[in-house]
């Protein structure tokens, strides 16, 4: 097998390995436990529990959108590979505390007719690990009437005890025609146990004014991207970004940077066990502006690393093969 073909298959093998790992039934598998875990709580609890995931996934999807601003003026170029993103969460994102004031207690707690305080009005305090928090400790829902605790029940544990929220995306880019470059991110449907079919699709378009002004001392580019991930019938995430970027080569290295305006949202749908209540809500990500700094090494295979800074800090590494 030729060296070039080996380099081509390497990123594809990484994608296959990541997909296989997601499909496994392993302890702490975020996807495998998500549906059964969420079904134990209502909407208010789920929003607080999932907030770090909602914010970080959108930030991850809008990462690694470019590794250079250079788009060749003549001839078609292409690349194929994988981008791996990770948002580093604050320690405070691993736990939460949410207070609901002046609510009917049995609307949020497992109180039955005849139980003390059934139908009573008071405050409820939800607290415990988020989805990225302690996987051994349950959260709690505590009812207060006139400032005194009158009832408490256990809730759910975290799914994955980590401050890293990762995401990977296979990517293909084709460019070189009138200063344009098209990128596509795609992952075939994977049937993840206890969740269902999960898929990813995204696309983007970039254009370089160097096509008209080739004597500029740096390469400049404008672009946009849209990306969507469906996680079974539970989560649907959407993200979009509009950005400008510049880069300059130094031997085998290219330094690049950019600024983006972006948005993201996550829709959550599941059925609460016991009551059979359908829970359906949508939350927006917090990342709106991003400054990106990175570098790419062209060693026959292209390696890039970058950091995106905004409301969150997101890191990205990529492995690309092409010409």
Q: What is the mean pLDDT of residues 46-53?
A: 96
Q: Are residues 231 and 311 in the same domain?
A: yes
Number of Cβ atoms within 10 Å of the Cβ of 222: 15
Q: Are residues 29 and 122 in the same domain?
A: no
Q: In the predicted model, is pLDDT for residue 133 greater than 50?
A: yes
Q: Is the dihedral of CA 133, 139, 143, 148 positive or negative?
A: negative
Q: Are residues 35 and 149 in the same domain?
A: no
Q: Are residues 72 and 98 in the same domain?
A: no
Q: What is the mean pLDDT of residues 32-39?
A: 78
Q: Are residues 123 and 246 in the same domain?
A: no
Q: Are residues 147 and 22 in the same domain?
A: no
Copy the structure tokens of residue 301.
Answer: 């295979």
Residue 286: predicted pLDDT = 96
Q: Which residue has the tokens 């030729």?
A: 2
Q: In the predicted model, is pLDDT for residue 267 greater than 80?
A: yes
In terms of Cα–Cα distance, which of 115, 158, 112, 167 is closest to 137?
158
3 state SS of 6: helix
Q: Are residues 79 and 184 in the same domain?
A: yes
Please identify, among 154, 178, 204, the residue that sits at the C-terminal boundary of a domain. 154
Categorize the per-residue pLDDT at 27 as very low, low, confident or very high, splitting at 50, 70 and 90: very low
Phi then psi for 29, rounded to 5 degrees? -70, 110
Quote the distance between the C-alpha of residue 201 and its chain's center.
13
H/E element holding 44? Answer: helix 43-61
* Of the ranges 6-20, 120-134, 265-279, the best mean pLDDT one: 120-134
Q: What is the mean pLDDT of residues 207-233?
A: 93
Q: Are residues 67 and 105 in the same domain?
A: no
CA–CA separation, 194 vs 196, rounded Å? 6
State the Cα torsion 25-29-34-35 to the nearest 10°.
Answer: 0
Letter string b/e over residues 232-256, b meaning 16 or more CB atoms within 10 A of that residue's CB = bebbbbbbbbebebbbeeeeeebeb
Q: In the predicted model, is pLDDT for residue 195 greater than 80?
A: no
Contact 65, 243 (CB under 8 A): yes
Residue 158: predicted pLDDT = 93
DSSP 277: P
Please identify, among 121, 154, 187, the residue that sits at the C-terminal boundary of a domain. 154
Q: What is the mean pLDDT of residues 231-252?
A: 94
How many folded domains does the chain comprise? Answer: 2
Detail the DSSP E strand segments found in the chain. 77-88, 95-104, 121-129, 140-145, 148-154, 164-177, 180-192, 196-207, 219-231, 235-250, 253-271, 278-284, 289-298, 302-309, 313-322
Q: Are residues 40 and 26 in the same domain?
A: yes
CA–CA separation, 293 vs 309, rounded Å? 9
Q: In the predicted model, is pLDDT for residue 20 greater than 70?
A: no
Contact 321, 303 (CB under 8 A): no
Q: Are residues 195 and 312 in the same domain?
A: yes
Please identify, among 103, 125, 154, the residue that sits at the C-terminal boundary of a domain. 154
Range of the domain at 15: 3-89+163-322
Lowest mean pLDDT among 197-201, 208-212, 309-313: 197-201
Copy the structure tokens of residue 276.
Answer: 């059979």
Q: Are residues 185 and 38 in the same domain?
A: yes
Q: Are residues 127 and 213 in the same domain?
A: no
This prediction has a pTM of 0.86
């Amino acid at each position: 097998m030729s060296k070039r073909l080996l380099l081509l298959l390497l990123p594809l093998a990484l994608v296959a390995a990541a997909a296989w790992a997601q499909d496994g039934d392993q302890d702490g598998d975020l996807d495998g436990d998500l549906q059964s875990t969420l079904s134990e709580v209502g909407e208010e609890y789920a929003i607080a529990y999932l907030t770090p995931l909602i914010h970080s996934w959108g930030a991850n999807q809008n990462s690694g959108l470019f590794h250079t601003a250079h788009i060749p003026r003549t001839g078609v170029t292409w690349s194929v590979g994988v981008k791996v993103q990770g948002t580093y969460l604050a320690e405070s994102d691993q736990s939460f505390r949410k207070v609901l004031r002046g609510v009917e207690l049995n609307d949020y707690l497992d109180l039955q007719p005849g139980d003390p305080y059934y139908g009573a009005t008071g405050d409820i305090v939800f607290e415990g690990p988020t989805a990225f928090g302690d996987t051994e400790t349950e959260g709690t829902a505590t009812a207060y009437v006139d400032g005194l605790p009158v009832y408490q029940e256990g809730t759910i544990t975290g799914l994955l005890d980590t401050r890293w929220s990762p995401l990977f995306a296979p990517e293909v880019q084709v460019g070189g025609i009138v200063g344009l470059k098209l990128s596509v991110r795609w992952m075939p449907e994977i049937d993840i146990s206890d969740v269902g079919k999960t898929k990813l699709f995204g696309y983007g378009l970039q254009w370089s004014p160097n096509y008209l002004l080739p004597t500029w001392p740096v390469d400049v580019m404008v672009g946009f991207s849209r990306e969507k991930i469906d996680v079974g019938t539970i989560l649907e995430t959407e993200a979009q970004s509009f950005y400008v970027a510049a880069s300059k080569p130094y031997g085998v290295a290219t330094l690049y940077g950019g600024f983006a305006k972006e948005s993201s949202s996550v829709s959550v749908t599941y059925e609460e066990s016991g009551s059979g209540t359908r829970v359906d809500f949508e939350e927006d990500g917090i990342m709106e502006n991003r400054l990106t700094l990175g570098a790419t090494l062209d060693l026959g295979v292209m390696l890039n690393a970058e950091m995106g800074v905004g409301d969150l800090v997101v890191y990205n590494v990529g492995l690309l093969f092409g010409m």
